[in-house]
Amino acid sequence: MKRHKIGIVGAGNVGIHLAIAFSGNAENDVFLFSRSNIEKQFSDRLKGVTLVHDLSFTKEQAEIVLLAVSDQSIEGLSNEYKDSEALLLHTSGSISLDSIMRHKKDQCGVLYPLQSFSLRRNLEYSKIPFLIEASDSKNLSRIRNLVSSIDAQCTEVDSADRKKIHLSAVIVNNFVNHLYTLGSEYLTKNNLPFDLLFPLINETASRLADDVPAKLQTGPARRGDISVIQEHLKLLENHPQLHNLYKTFSDSIANFHRQS
């Protein structure tokens, strides 16, 4: 198997996780560029990775460069690679391929890992879906090779569809986590333990494998149980944010299932 020389730019959550993932396969050489020193707590997990502090190293040595930086920095950085021979990929859900293609015409693509990375968690990389896109089919197949070096799956989607999937990811990850947050705050303020809900939370997520979520909907709003809804709204009188969301959701659930 061909050895991949991979440069990763950016040592945030995504950059560090991708460096760990790709360096886990001995066929890959991974360089991780970071302006500052990586915190000691991660150096152990990064022992197969070469840390570099000079961007030119990734421009000259890497065959594939992954930009694991903020959306705002992608286009500016792309321009820096216009004379590099590396295949340049960004890792963002919401930035078009066009943004880097402007600078790296026929040597660019996207490798968007559809997962939420937290430095405190170990992930099974083989279970992360990578959404990929490239300037041409030759580069697309190079990206496929790269992803298969860590036994992960990839799905080809264009920039417009990737944005829609990213939007859905915001809903099922960021918005859901905000509901967890408000539920947790409410219980904590009432001196009740949030972890009692963990089995329910995990079941709610994992049963999606069995049926479409609309068919799994239960609860007072679904069955039109006004008295429970009223009692809950009363309990939330001193929690205006949660009170507001509770009403919005109860209406939205009732509406959705009336229509369907």
> 213-252: which residues touch a second copy (CB under 8 A)?
213-214, 216-222, 225, 227-228, 231-232, 235-236, 241-242, 244-246, 248-249, 252
User: Considering just the CA atoms, what is the radius of gyration of the chain in Å?
Assistant: 22
Neighbours of 26 (CB within 10 A): 9
The answer to the question of residue 168 lying near a second copy (CB under 8 A) is yes
* Residue 112 vs residues 66, 81, 101, 197, 253: alpha-carbon distances, Å: 10, 19, 16, 32, 32
- Smallest distance from the beta carbon of 91 to a second copy, in angstroms? 14
**Quick check: 112 binds a second copy (CB under 8 A)?**
no
CB of 40 to a second copy, least distance (A): 20
CB of 21 to a second copy, least distance (A): 14
| Distance between CA atoms of residues 212 and 51, nearest Å | 45
For a second copy, the closer CB: 55 or 165: 165
Residue count (the chain): 260
> Residue from 40, 41, 175, 237 that binds a second copy (CB under 8 A)?
175
Of residues 82 through 111, those in contact with a second copy by CB under 8 A are 94
Residue placing its CB nearer to a second copy in the complex, 43 or 244: 244
Considering the complex, what minimum distance in angstroms separates the CB of residue 95 from a second copy?
9
Residues 6+ apart with CB under 8 A from 25: 149, 150
Helices (H), the chain: 13-23, 40-43, 55-61, 71-80, 98-101, 137-148, 159-169, 176-189, 198-206, 213-216, 220-223, 226-235, 240-259
> Could you tell me the smallest distance in angstroms from the CB atom of residue 247 to a second copy?
10
134 in helix, strand or coil? strand
Residue found under tokens 């009732």: 254
- Told to check if 116 binds a second copy by CB under 8 A, we report yes
Does position 119 interact with a second copy (CB under 8 A)? The reply is no
Structure tokens at 38: 């990586």
Largest Cα–Cα separation, the chain:
68
Which window, 32-40, 82-90, 139-147, 153-161, contacts a second copy (CB under 8 A)? 153-161
One residue of 40, 120, 237, 258 binding a second copy per CB under 8 A: 120
SS3 percent helix, strand, coil of the chain, rounded to 5, is 50, 15, 30
Is 43 near a second copy (CB under 8 A)?
no
Stretch that binds a second copy, among 16-24, 37-45, 49-57, 161-169 (CB under 8 A): 161-169
* Distance (Å, whole) CA 203 – CA 211: 13
* CB of residue 124 to a second copy, shortest distance in Å: 8
Over the window 47 to 76, marking each residue x when it contacts a second copy by CB under 8 A and - when it does not, the resulting string is ------------------------x-----
